[in-house]
Amino acid sequence: MLEAHGEQAGAPRIATLRRKRRRKEAISTFTTIGSAAFAGSAFTALHMAWGAINEWTTQAGYARLSDKAGHPTLRELLKRIMKQEGGHIDFYASEATRRLSESPRAQRLTRFALKHLWRPVGSGVMPQEEVGFLVKYLFAGDEGHQFTSRIDRRVDRLPGQAHLHLLDTAVSRLSGLEVAA
């Protein structure tokens, strides 16, 4: 598929990707350790809440892609991925809820970080116009909006995180970008 689109494929591409990822991961590990040392258990609550939102978002994306593409093989593949991801969702969401409910400080840190730093998972990896296209394809229109507003309502129910409207804001911002590009 990559070759068909004139992209580098096979071993050289994988080597480049891995090299980039190793560097990124090394940096992100230091940032994570640093933040955890600084913010302690509040950071773990944030990490869990962030993870839950990313899992809800990818799950919604898989469901929409499955519906929109209407392809039997893709549907089966996505069904299996979604089943596996379901376990991650339960873990992140229950840990986030428990940890946030125990700590007003964790609630404040999480709210601050989500409000100012949260971006849809993966949106930093791909070029902006592709992210814009993806967001529009999956989440624009009434049906797509039902999915994103459901996630926003779930975020509302996390202790101390009501009315952030993360998904609604992200969808209008990112799909707007694509039009402008």
Binding site for Fe ion (CB under 5 A): 85, 88
- Residue labelled with tokens 């840190």: 109
Please report how close the Cβ of residue 10 comes to Fe ion at its closest, in angstroms: 27
Position of minimal CB gap to Fe ion: 88
In the complex, minimum distance from the CB of residue 114 to Fe ion, in angstroms, rounded to a whole number: 18
In the complex, least distance from residue 85 CB atom to Fe ion, rounded to whole angstroms: 5
Residue with Cβ nearer Fe ion (91 or 133): 91
Q: Which pairs count as long-range contacts for 65-71, CB under 8 Å and 24+ apart, including other chains?
A: 65/138, 67/143, 68/137, 68/138
Question: What angle separates helix 166-180 from helix 128-139, to the nearest 10 degrees?
Answer: 120
Which of these, 59, 45, 62, lies nearest to 114 by C-alpha position? Answer: 45
Query: In the complex, what is the shortest distance from the CB of residue 8 to Fe ion, in angstroms, rounded to a whole number?
Result: 27
3-state helix, strand, coil in the chain (%, to 5): 80, 0, 20
Distances (CA, A) of 152 to 14, 85, 106, 162, 167: 36, 19, 19, 9, 6
Nearer to Fe ion, 54 or 103 (CB): 54
Q: What single string gives the DSSP state of each residue in 13-24?
A: HHHHHHHHHHHH
- Pick between residue 85 and residue 95 the one whose CB is nearest to Fe ion: 85
User: Minimal distance in Å, beta carbon 87 to Fe ion?
Assistant: 8
Residue number, 75 or 88, with CB nearest to Fe ion: 88
Nearer to Fe ion, 58 or 161 (CB): 58
